[in-house]
Amino acid sequence: MSKNIKIVIISVLCLLLATVLGLGGTYGYVTLKANNDVKMQEQYSAGYDSRADEIAELEAERQDKDQQIAIRDAKIIALQEQLSNAIDPAEIATLNAQIAELQKQIEELQKNTGSADYSAIENGDCKVVTFKVDDDVHAVKVVEKGATVTVNDPQAPSAIQGLTSKVEWNLNGTPVDLSTYAVTENIILDAKFKYSSNITLEKMDWNAGGHLSLSQAHYFNGADVWSDGIDYYYSSATDQYVLDISTYTWHDMVWNGLSAFAGSRVWSDGSKYYYSSGSKQYVLNVSTHTWSVKTWNGYASLVGKDIWTDGIDFYYSDYPDQYVLDVTTSTWSKMIWNGLSSYSGSGVWTDGINYYYSSSSGQYVLDIATHTWSKMTWNGFSNISGANVWSDGVNYYYSVGSAQYVLDKSTHTWCEMTWSGYSTLAGGQVWTDGTDRYYSYQNNQYVFKRPETASVVA
Q: Would you place residue 189 in the very low, low, confident or very high pLDDT band (cuts 50, 70, 90)?
A: very high
Of the chain, the percentage scoring pLDDT greater than 70 comes to 80
Residue 299 has pLDDT above 70, yes or no: yes
Would you state the pLDDT for residue 82? 81
Q: Would you place residue 196 in the very low, low, confident or very high pLDDT band (cuts 50, 70, 90)?
A: very high
| Per-chain mean pLDDT for the chain | 84
Residue 27 has pLDDT above 80, yes or no: no
CA 233 vs CA 180, 243, 412, 444: distances in Å: 53, 6, 35, 18
Q: Would you place residue 455 in the very low, low, confident or very high pLDDT band (cuts 50, 70, 90)?
A: very low
* Rounded average pLDDT over 108-131: 66
Residue 453 has pLDDT above 80, yes or no: no
- Per-residue pLDDT tens for 317-346? 999 999 999 999 999 999 999 999 999 999
Q: Would you place residue 68 in the very low, low, confident or very high pLDDT band (cuts 50, 70, 90)?
A: confident
- Per-residue pLDDT tens for 352-395? 999 999 999 899 999 999 999 999 999 999 999 999 999 999 99
Count CB neighbours of 383 within 10 A: 13
Would you state the pLDDT for residue 103? 87
Q: Poorest-confidence range of 120-124, 366-370, 438-442?
A: 120-124
Burial of 140 (0-12, 13-18, 19+ CB in 10 A): buried
- 360/248 Cα distance (integer angstroms): 37
The per-residue DSSP string of 387-420 comes to GGEEE-SS-EEEEETTEEEEEETTTTEEEEEEEE
Of the two residues 156 and 51, the one the predictor is more confident about is 156
Of the two residues 35 and 280, the one the predictor is more confident about is 280
Of the two residues 455 and 11, the one the predictor is more confident about is 455
Residue 207 has pLDDT above 90, yes or no: no
Would you state the pLDDT for residue 170? 97
Q: Poorest-confidence range of 201-205, 352-356, 365-369, 423-427?
A: 201-205
- 22/9 Cα distance (integer angstroms): 20
Would you state the pLDDT for residue 16? 43
- 47/72 Cα distance (integer angstroms): 38
Which letter does DSSP use for residue 256 in this model? B
Q: Would you place residue 56 in the very low, low, confident or very high pLDDT band (cuts 50, 70, 90)?
A: low
Would you state the pLDDT for residue 46? 52
Angle at CA of residue 232, ends 226 and 234, nearest 5°: 60
Contact indicator for 383, 405 with CB cutoff of 8 Å = no
- Give the three-state DSSP class for 206: coil
Would you state the pLDDT for residue 319? 97
Residue 85 has pLDDT above 50, yes or no: yes
Q: Structure pTM? A: 0.72
Would you state the pLDDT for residue 214? 42
Would you state the pLDDT for residue 13? 45
Q: Would you place residue 40 in the very low, low, confident or very high pLDDT band (cuts 50, 70, 90)?
A: very low
Would you state the pLDDT for residue 9? 43
Would you state the pLDDT for residue 70? 84
- Per-residue pLDDT tens for 247-294? 999 999 999 999 999 999 999 999 999 999 999 999 999 999 999 999
Listed in sequence order, the residues at least 6 apart from 262 whose beta carbon sits closer than 8 Å to its beta carbon are 224, 235, 236, 237, 277
Contact indicator for 276, 302 with CB cutoff of 8 Å = yes
C-alpha R_g of the chain = 31
Residue 458 has pLDDT above 50, yes or no: no
Listed in sequence order, the residues at least 6 apart from 299 whose beta carbon sits closer than 8 Å to its beta carbon are 316, 321, 323, 332, 333, 334
- Give the three-state DSSP class for 97: helix
- 51/142 Cα distance (integer angstroms): 8
- Per-residue pLDDT tens for 229-250? 999 999 999 999 999 999 999 9
CA 140 vs CA 186, 238, 266, 287: distances in Å: 11, 65, 58, 69
Phi, psi of 281 (to 5 degrees): -130, 120
Nearest to 105 by CA among 63, 69, 138: 69
- 243/231 Cα distance (integer angstroms): 7
- 354/338 Cα distance (integer angstroms): 17
In angstroms, how far apart are the furthest CA atoms of the chain? 98
Count CB neighbours of 246 within 10 A: 6
* Rounded average pLDDT over 204-216: 59
